Amino acid sequence: MAKLSKALAADLVARARAVRQRAYVAGSGFRVGAAVLGGSGAVYVGCNVENASYGLTICAERAAVCAAIAAGERELRAVAVVTGLQDPARPCGACRQVLAEFAPARGDLAVLLAGSGKAVARTTIARLLPDRFNFADIAKGRG
Ligand code: THU
């Protein structure tokens, strides 16, 4: 399990919970907030942004990852995801793949999942997405 202090974990969940209020959910009404901890120690947030052309919807996790990468981060240590459900929900497959791209070369990316209740589920990206597709596979077989 990736290491993360209790205080840092609580801060990430709080930041994800706060940004969740900014979600643009004109289609579903299902707000999601995410906060990622970059290798530098900085935190970046994102919320889901829906679109009338449904397939263009961006999940909160990927919005947060994009903010981190645009700020110069290349390794992410942790992510917190908060929904309005009573119990913690799990990140979608697309977001697992995108988060895994930036998991630390050594170690793992901690995943904290929370809902409207106090429970915070803890897992890691390696558990959520074992054997992912990666650039090393592409390098083996171009053309
Ligand atoms: N959603 C996320 O933001 N993250 C996930 O991991 C799963 C789903 C959003 C997308 C859409 O705006 C709404 O939740 C319902 O699918």
High-pLDDT (> 70) share of the chain, %: 97
The residue nearest atom 1 of ligand 1, judged by CA position, is 59
Say whether pLDDT at 2 is over 90. Answer: no
Specify the pTM. Answer: 0.96
Tokens in use for 32?
């999601």
Say whether pLDDT at 143 is over 80. Answer: no
The pLDDT of residue 17 = 98
The CB of 50 under 6 Å from ligand 1? The reply is yes
The residue nearest atom 6 of ligand 1, judged by CA position, is 91
Tokens in use for 101?
């791209």
Mean pLDDT of the chain: 96
Average pLDDT on 2-20 reads: 95
Q: How far apart are CA 90 and CA 111, in angstroms?
A: 10
pLDDT (tens digit per residue) in 28-73? 999 999 999 999 999 999 999 999 999 999 999 999 999 999 999 9
C-alpha 59 – ligand 1 centre gap (Å): 5
Its sign, for the CA torsion 4, 7, 13, 15, is negative
Say whether pLDDT at 141 is over 90. Answer: no
The pLDDT of residue 1 = 53
C-alpha 49 – ligand 1 centre gap (Å): 9
The pLDDT of residue 53 = 98
User: What residues are annotated to the active site?
Assistant: 61
| H/E element, 111 | strand 110-114
Q: How far apart are CA 28 and CA 30, in angstroms?
A: 5
C-alpha 33 – ligand 1 centre gap (Å): 9
The pLDDT of residue 127 = 97
Q: How far apart are CA 7 and CA 99, in angstroms?
A: 22
- Residues composing the chain: 143
Per-residue DSSP letter, 103: S
Pocket-testing residue among 20, 32, 82, 129, ligand 1, by greatest number of atoms within 8 A of Cβ: 32
The residue nearest atom 2 of ligand 1, judged by CA position, is 59
